[in-house]
Amino acid sequence: MYSSDKIKRSTELIDLFGRAPIKKTFGMVLSFNAQLEAVFEMSHNPDFEHALGDTHGGIIATLLDNAGWFTAAVQYETWIATIEMQIRLLKPAGKRDLRATGELVRAGRNFAVAQMRVQTTKGRLVALGSGTFAVTSAKL
């Protein structure tokens, strides 16, 4: 069971993302699952395709970063910053809607580590990632 402060924090983070210009630009929707892992849904958008006609890897990387950042951010009352990411693009998205999910690996005093995955909404694995996030003293 998660503490009420972490559940409250997840609601605050959903509100924060709702005000971010990137939400409108990318059309991403943020929620949290029962484990308080961030889940991002994004409909396929032809405007985000590369020259060969599928979702650009940079868009997929953004989904991975968001899933990791928001999964880690639930653990802290202050701002965190992405300091390192590793991305593995495994298969084309196939012009499908995408879902990115984060999984917390470690939440320490100075940094957090998360693993992330992007799948089509039909469950086909598209990309994996891991990220390290520094804890700052800046309040949200």
Range of the domain at 60: 4-139
Which residue type does 119 have?
A: Q
pLDDT for the residue 41: 98
Query: What percent of the chain is modeled with pLDDT above 70?
Result: 99
User: Can you tell me the distance from the alpha carbon of 126 to that of 54, in angstroms, rounded to the nearest whole number?
Assistant: 12
CATH number at residue 101: 3.10.129.10
H or E stretch including 103? strand 98-107
User: Can you tell me the distance from the alpha carbon of 90 to that of 50, in angstroms, rounded to the nearest whole number?
Assistant: 16
Task: Classify 25 in phi/psi space as left (phi over 0), alpha (psi -120 to 50) or beta.
Answer: alpha
The structural domain count of the chain equals 1
User: Can you tell me the distance from the alpha carbon of 58 to that of 125, in angstroms, rounded to the nearest whole number?
Assistant: 16
In this prediction the pTM is: 0.95
Q: Look at strands 125-139 and 78-89 and give their pairing.
A: antiparallel
Confidence of residue 140 (pLDDT cuts 50, 70, 90): confident
